[in-house]
Structures are given as C-alpha cells and as structure tokens.
C-alpha cells in the first residue's frame, strides 16, 4: 500500500480580501480548519491610541459568546471541539471535524465565520471574562517557567509590548472597555486581515465554492492596518529570582534573519545538532553533572522579533554560558543568506 501521496496546495484571495489556503488530503478522514487573524498582543496602537496589554486575548475569549447562544455549545452539538489561542502576533481559531457530507462541513464553516466575525460585547460579559483571565494570570504567576520566559522577553525588549505577558496584567485588562473592544474588532477582524487554512479531503474548487456560499463577499474595505516593524533588543540585561532551585534561562535576541521555509529548516537542524539531546554539548554537560534531562531550548521566529532561549536546572550556571560562543555561526548564516 502506498502511503505517500502528493499534496495539492491551493491559495486564493477572495474579493472581500479573505485569503483561503488548502492542503488537499484525499485520503484523510478529518478536516483541520484554522482561521488566523493578524492581530496579537504586540499590536499596541489603534489610531495612535495605546492598546492595553491583554486586549487581544480578551477579545479571543469574548468572541465565543453571542447574544442568544454560546459558540462552544453550537460546535459541540456537531461533535466538534473548537478552541482558540492568542500569540504576540496572531489570534488563531481552530477545530477538527470528521469527514461527513458537504452540508456538515459547510455548517461548521458557518459557525467559524460567525465565531470570528460577529462580535457581541456587553459590560457584563466583559466583566465576567476579565475575572476569568485574572485567574489565568495568577496561575501563570505561580508558574516559574512562564514567569521566567516573560521576564526574559521583558529584559530583551524593554518598554515594548513584548515586555508584557500575552494575557496582560490584572491592572491593564481592567482598563479595557466595550467601546475599545468594538473598535479593535472592527479594525483588525476584517477579511483582508484574516487567512483561512483548511487541510483535508476536499478539492480546492469545492472549498472555494463552500466558502463563498457562507462568507460575506462584499468588496474589501479600505482600512489602514499597522505596518510591519522589528523590535531591537537591549545589548545585555540580567534578572535574578529568589528560587530554591538554580534555574538558568538564557535568551539571545537575533537580528531579522528573514529566513524562507527551506532555510528555517536548515537552521533548526543546525540548532538541534548544537544543542539537542544527541549533541556533543548536551552529553558533555550531562556527564559532567551540569544539566539534567530538563534542558530545553527553543528558537522563536516572529514577524517582529527573533529569539533563541534555553532553560535548565543547574548548580553551575556559568558553565552553561559557553553556549552563545558556540552559536557564532548564526552571524555567518545570516551573511550567507
């Protein structure tokens, strides 16, 4: 049996500005659907007015509530588990559903469009969700790893939106009101600022037909979105935490590498060779008792910042600071590409 099939990829921008992308998988039994809005916690201005940190995440929560129903309930009635998350640059609404008939798939898309594009904000709902998010914030404050990562970005990019957690703070989210949320939704939740991704057993022509039957295809509105920008880090800064365990978190901000897909794979393989659990570095540090199995690194590439960080429990943090010296090839990689 041949399990390898060629993927057909389709991309089209509709007249209302919505971009539709499909990875056709004829043998799949499920559809994976994502609607990604180009709006996240690092978007800090609307009409030259400061957006309180945590606003993007608050909108994500509120959009699941409509005037007469709850979107989670409608999806669950179809046997679909829907969810969403907010990052520094995007808000992603997604679900997975079994392959059934066309009307079933069409209905799931109708719900997704309603979820994302139809906002219903009331003072009572906002107050309720702020309390829920406040509880989330308290939980993350008790999470050492989350706290260290937030502090790391705050040190690398002080006085920028990156210095705040995506959730915001209890203080900042309480400054958000209904009028601001409506303005944010009206500006950023426009079709031309959204990409619909579908992966599953459907042809591109059929997908476009279904999308056009459920989407509002009015001509694209003339709105001015925030321009791209790239945050510049400080050269060096250190924070100390009074923890019983000696946990080191090191962050190295990189210049805008502007990697294409192929180069990003090559760079990831290089990092795995340098820092992964099969690398000489890992085995040397592990055998010397400097680190244990919890050693972790991540390479984060966003449109406005690029950072490499690693963390681990250690009794000798100074020995681990040799890592940046081992990564000087990054500069060579950038010049070459």
Residue 197: CATH number of its domain = 3.30.830.10
57 and 130 part of one domain: yes
Query: What's the whole-model pTM score?
Result: 0.85
Name the residue with higher pLDDT: 279 or 115. 115
- For residue 203, being part of any structural domain is answered with yes
188 and 280 part of one domain: no
pLDDT given at position 1: 37
| Closest CA relative to residue 192, chosen from 88, 37, 42 | 37
179 and 269 part of one domain: no
189 and 251 part of one domain: no
pLDDT given at position 305: 87
- Mean pLDDT on 38-54: 90
pLDDT given at position 228: 60
Structural domain including 119 reads: 8-214
pLDDT of 3 higher than 50: no
Q: In the chain, how many domains are there?
A: 2
180 and 274 part of one domain: no
- Mean pLDDT on 9-16: 94
- For residue 319, being part of any structural domain is answered with yes
- For residue 137, being part of any structural domain is answered with yes
- For residue 236, being part of any structural domain is answered with no
**Which range is least confidently modeled, 154-158, 175-179, 192-196?**
154-158
pLDDT given at position 87: 95
- Mean pLDDT on 157-162: 88
- For residue 206, being part of any structural domain is answered with yes
pLDDT given at position 120: 96
Q: What's the alpha-carbon Rg for the chain, to the nearest Å?
A: 22
65 and 194 part of one domain: yes
Percent of the chain with pLDDT over 70: 84
- For residue 226, being part of any structural domain is answered with no
- Mean pLDDT on 138-142: 82
pLDDT given at position 204: 96
Name the residue with higher pLDDT: 115 or 217. 115
**Beta pairing class for 247-254 and 91-98:** unpaired
256 and 191 part of one domain: no
pLDDT of 315 higher than 60: yes
When pLDDT is cut at 50, 70 and 90, the band that residue 125 belongs to is: very high
**Which range is least confidently modeled, 183-187, 263-267, 331-335?**
331-335
The answer to whether the beta carbons of residues 47 and 160 sit under 8 Å apart is no
Domain closes at, from 172, 190, 214: 214
pLDDT of 271 higher than 50: yes
- For residue 224, being part of any structural domain is answered with no
C-beta neighbour count of 313 within 10 angstroms: 14
When pLDDT is cut at 50, 70 and 90, the band that residue 4 belongs to is: very low
35 and 85 part of one domain: yes
Rounded to the nearest 10 degrees, how much is the dihedral formed by the CA atoms of 27, 33, 194, 15?
Answer: 50
pLDDT of 19 higher than 70: yes
* Model confidence pLDDT, tens digit, residues 195-241: 999 999 999 999 999 999 998 877 667 666 665 666 666 655 555 54
- Mean pLDDT on 123-140: 93
- For residue 183, being part of any structural domain is answered with yes
The answer to whether the beta carbons of residues 264 and 301 sit under 8 Å apart is yes
Domain closes at, from 214, 235, 262: 214
Strand partners, 257: none
* Model confidence pLDDT, tens digit, residues 87-105: 999 999 999 998 888 899 9
Mean confidence (pLDDT) of the chain: 85
């Amino acid at each position: 049996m041949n399990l390898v099939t060629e993927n057909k990829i389709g991309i089209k921008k509709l007249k209302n500005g919505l971009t539709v992308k499909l990875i056709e998988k004829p043998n799949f039994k499920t559809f994976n659907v994502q609607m990604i809005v180009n709006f996240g916690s690092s978007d800090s201005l609307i009409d030259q007015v400061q957006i309180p940190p945590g606003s993007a995440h608050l909108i994500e929560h509120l959009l699941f509530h409509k005037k007469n129903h709850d979107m989670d309930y409608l999806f669950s009635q179809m046997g679909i588990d829907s969810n969403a998350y907010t990052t520094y640059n995007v808000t992603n609404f997604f679900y997975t559903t079994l392959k059934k008939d066309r009307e079933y798939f069409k209905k799931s898309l109708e719900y997704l469009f309603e979820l994302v594009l139809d906002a219903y904000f009331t003072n009572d709902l906002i107050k309720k969700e702020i309390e829920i998010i406040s509880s989330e914030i308290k939980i993350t404050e008790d999470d050492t790893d989350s706290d260290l990562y937030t502090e790391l970005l705050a040190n690398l990019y002080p006085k920028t939106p990156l210095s705040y957690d995506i959730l915001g703070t209890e203080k900042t989210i309480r400054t958000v009101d209904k009028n601001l949320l409506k303005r944010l939704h009206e500006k950023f939740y426009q079709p031309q600022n959204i990409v619909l991704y579908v992966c599953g057993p459907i042809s591109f022509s059929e997908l476009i037909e279904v999308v056009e039957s459920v989407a509002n295809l009015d001509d694209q509105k003339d709105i001015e979105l925030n321009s791209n920008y790239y945050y510049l880090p400080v050269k060096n800064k250190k924070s100390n935490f009074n923890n019983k365990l000696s946990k080191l978190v090191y962050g190295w901000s990189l210049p805008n590498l502007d990697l294409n897909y192929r180069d990003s794979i090559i760079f990831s393989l290089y990092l795995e060779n340098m820092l992964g659990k099969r690398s000489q570095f890992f085995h040397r540090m592990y055998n010397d008792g400097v680190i244990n199995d919890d050693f972790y690194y991540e390479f984060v590439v966003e449109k406005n910042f690029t950072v490499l960080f690693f963390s681990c429990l250690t009794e000798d943090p100074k020995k681990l600071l040799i890592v940046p010296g081992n990564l000087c090839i990054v500069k060579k990689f950038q010049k070459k590409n």
